[in-house]
Chains A and B, each alone.
Chain A
Amino acid sequence: MLAALFVVPAYVVVSVAFGTVDFSNFGRPVPYYAPWWWSFDTFNQTLSKFWGPEAIYQDALIRTFVYVIAASMICLVLGYTVAYFTARKATKYKGLILILLVSPLWISYLMRIYAWQGLLDSGGPINVLLGPFGFRHTDLLSGLPITVIIGLVYGYIPFMILPIYASLDRIPESLLEAGRDLGASGGQTFWRVTLPMSRPAILTGIVIVTLPMFGDYYTNDLLSQSPRTSMFGNLIATQKELLGGATRTASLVLILSVIVLLPMMYYLHETRRASERAA
């Protein structure tokens, strides 16, 4: 039943993407359900906006990758540090820190980004704080890539910290002591024992932060509102609001699905392997 809930929508999206639009009827989409009627006009048109001479979407595509990669790398470095401290060094404050780490997940994402919007507003506290560094009059919400990237990091970093924490917490202390007894320095123990053992969690973390980032458009809308930073998700959100945009929306959804297919499959494969190992 659940499979039907996924297969049917997927097929309808394909049919709409490969269908046409009836402009005499408020731009309603006319899906072609039979594969032999499929027309690839709109889809090809959409695709040609990513590559080739009329690539008006190309910037957004490249930007999506740059932002997502930058944001997930920051997530990884900062998240690993925090997770490492919590798992290894936090001692008696571990429970408290864990609760604080999890709590953003219980607070509405929109509210957290909204809170940042207030802080970053021109004349707001961040402007005042950064004033001595020459940012007193910079409008931080006017479409700065760095604002959007940090916004993405802020939104998704808990999903990076938690799996890494869980994996670091499972590494037995005795293994690290063994490493040290065999003459490794603290740094060597980290590079040759801790880091390799947490690699699966790092990869899982990267996948589960990047996938939602690829579809994110509201972080961008709230923190930039400028087409200069718009990402793939914004393309979809914009097309969806347009009259007669259904065919293009469906085409964009298909293209995005193909882009995220690989990391998604990796995640599913890894999860299955992990559960088989546990069983």
Chain B
Amino acid sequence: MSVALEAPAAQTRTGGYFKNPWRKPRVLQGVTIAYLLWSLLPVVIAVIFSFNDGRSRIIWQGFSMRWWTADPTDSILHDPQMRAAIAQTYKLAILVVLISVPIGTLFAIGIDRWHGRPARGANFVMLLSFVVPEIILGTSLFILFTTLFKFVHLGTPAEFLGLAVFQVSYPAVIVRARLLTIGPEYEEAAMDLGASPSQAIRRVLLPLITPAIFASVALVFADCVDDFVTVNALSGDASTETVAQKIYSASRASPTPEVNAAATVMLITTLLIVGIGLLLYRRFNRGQAGGSAADLAQL
């Protein structure tokens, strides 16, 4: 009896599933959740295994801080090579942020104000460095620094220049997008009210583009920490290798959870910087339409 009652009910439910356009999108939802798990779960597992007690990164052998602090030679705290790699990564990222973000910001203001041929040319080059496969850029610079510009030594100077070249375009593009939405009106109003052009830039334009600058700092920092191809092409020897390179070379030999620990340190740093960047972005962007996450997606 109950079976007979249930059958038609189930039928109308499936019928409704095909007819009602505002139904719950179960398939789409399933795919999206599966995708998110697929994209993030491996990283979570890699982080967890940095606390593994054994040498394996796939078989759990108990919790320990062995690869972080305890092991006298192979933990990231005591392994001189890994410590050097972490320091080198930070050094490069900070240097590049300090140089690229101001230059990129000036570039954006320049492109926005000039118009005409040179501005379009600069904009073209900027976008070009976005899409050129990194291996072309990195290898070209390697060839340049080993033939014509021999005074740029492989190692920190070459790595820094290589990164800075194409990291300039992030702040340039982001700040420029911001400038386009602001328009020239505020500056003009300031100058009507008696501000000099430099005052107008300093006291009106700069506060308006501050959120974009914070976003650029976060993005450039994350990208420098992440970079492998350019740095790998331009690092001279093992002493100027970064964490990304250590991950690469270790994973081709016999990786231990020490690599996981080093990668986790980088992950935490980047997330911290990005988090702070986002918070500041929000703070300075208050009262503007759209959430910060939506803005990020527009980038």
Which A residues are within 8 Å of any B CB, using their own CB? 2-3, 5-6, 8-10, 12-13, 15-16, 29, 31, 78, 81-82, 84-86, 88-90, 95, 97-112, 114-119, 121, 123-125, 154, 157-158, 162, 165-166, 169, 180, 186, 207-208, 211-212, 214-218, 221-222, 225, 233, 236-237, 240, 246, 249-250, 253, 256-257, 260, 264, 267-268, 271-272, 275, 278-279
Which residue of B40, B42, B107, B252 is within 8 Å of A222 (Cβ)?
B252
Which residue of B58, B126, B140, B299 is within 8 Å of A118 (Cβ)?
B58
Q: Taking A78-B31, A82-B32, A111-B46 as contacts, is the C-beta distance between A95 and B293 under 8 angstroms?
A: yes
The 7 closest A-B pairs by CB, nearest first: A215-B133, A215-B135, A115-B42, A115-B46, A85-B28, A111-B263, A124-B58
Residues of A within 8 A of B31 (CB): 78, 81-82, 85
Which residue of B29, B133, B228 is within 8 Å of A260 (Cβ)?
B133
* B146 within 8 Å of A (CB atoms): yes
- In angstroms, Cα B165 to Cα A99, docked, is 28
Closest chain B CB from A226 CB (angstroms): 12
21 contacts between A and B (CB under 8 A): A2-B168, A9-B140, A12-B148, A85-B29, A98-B293, A98-B296, A110-B244, A110-B248, A111-B247, A157-B39, A158-B39, A162-B297, A162-B299, A169-B294, A217-B135, A218-B229, A225-B252, A249-B143, A253-B136, A253-B139, A275-B180
CB pair B148 A115 closer than 8 Å: no
- Using A166-B297, A249-B139, A256-B135 as known contacts, list a sample of 17 further A-B pairs with CB atoms less than 8 Å apart, ordered by residue number in A: A12-B144, A12-B147, A13-B139, A82-B31, A89-B28, A108-B270, A162-B299, A211-B131, A218-B248, A222-B248, A236-B135, A246-B143, A260-B133, A268-B127, A275-B180, A278-B180, A279-B180
CB pair B36 A116 closer than 8 Å: no
Closest chain B CB from A123 CB (angstroms): 7
CB pair B297 A13 closer than 8 Å: no
Query: Which residue of the partner chain A has the closest CB to B223?
Result: A105
Query: Which residue of the partner chain B has the closest CB to A8?
Result: B144
Residues of A within 8 A of B165 (CB): 2, 5
* B134 within 8 Å of A (CB atoms): yes
Q: Bits for B220-244, please: 1 = Cβ < 8 Å to A, else 0.
A: 0010011011000100000000011
Query: Which residue of the partner chain A has the closest CB to B118?
Result: A3
CB pair B143 A114 closer than 8 Å: no
